Amino acid sequence: MKNIIIMLTLMFSLTSLTSCEKETILAGQDIPTEIKSYASTHFPDCSISKAIRENSEKDEMYEISLSCNCKLEFNKQRNIIDIDCTSKLPDSVIPGTILSYANSNYPGNYIIGWEIQGSNQHVDLNNGVTLVFNMQGDFLHISD
């Protein structure tokens, strides 16, 4: 019985190790050019303080931390998929129709987060409200 428990524990451990994500901290010269360009274009007053490449069995992602308390995530194709800040996001990172909707319907608030989730875009406002839009920028609903 003891041998069975040991074997099951060993098998579980090996399975866990092979299915884990692998994170690599990137040095400045190893950060893809597209990502550095995006950060410097839209966040010119911020510098990259940490860059991580995450590899899993299914996907690859880049997680970038900026000196201005913003985090950026990029997919395998190095396209932005998530932006989270503690302050207002630059207007240049928000699709125009979404920015117009938020400014018109929430004039006293501002956007602090934007993310692509599945086939929708989610926008977080500084008042805690999350707005959901389709990929064309049409408002769908307020998220719970």
CATH classification of the domain holding 45 = 3.40.1420.30
Alpha helices in 45-142 (DSSP H): 96-105
Asked whether residue 4 is assigned to any structural domain, the reply reads no
Are 72 and 120 members of one domain?
no
- Six-digit token string for 48: 């990259």
Asked whether residue 1 is assigned to any structural domain, the reply reads no
pLDDT tens column, 48-78: 999 999 998 788 999 999 999 999 999 999 9
For residue 124, the enclosing domain spans 88-144
- CA 92 to CA 62: how far, in whole Å? 20
pLDDT of residue 64: 98
Q: Give the count of domains, the chain.
A: 2
Radius of gyration of the chain (CA): 19
Asked whether residue 97 is assigned to any structural domain, the reply reads yes
Are 25 and 79 members of one domain?
yes
Which of 62, 86, 110 is a domain's end point?
A: 86
Asked whether residue 96 is assigned to any structural domain, the reply reads yes
pLDDT tens column, 81-99: 999 999 999 999 999 999 9
Asked whether residue 6 is assigned to any structural domain, the reply reads no
How far is the CA of 105 from the CAs of 89, 120, 131, in angstroms?
A: 17, 19, 11
Asked whether residue 10 is assigned to any structural domain, the reply reads no
Within 10 A of 139 (CB to CB), how many other CB atoms are there?
15
pTM for this model (two decimals) = 0.82
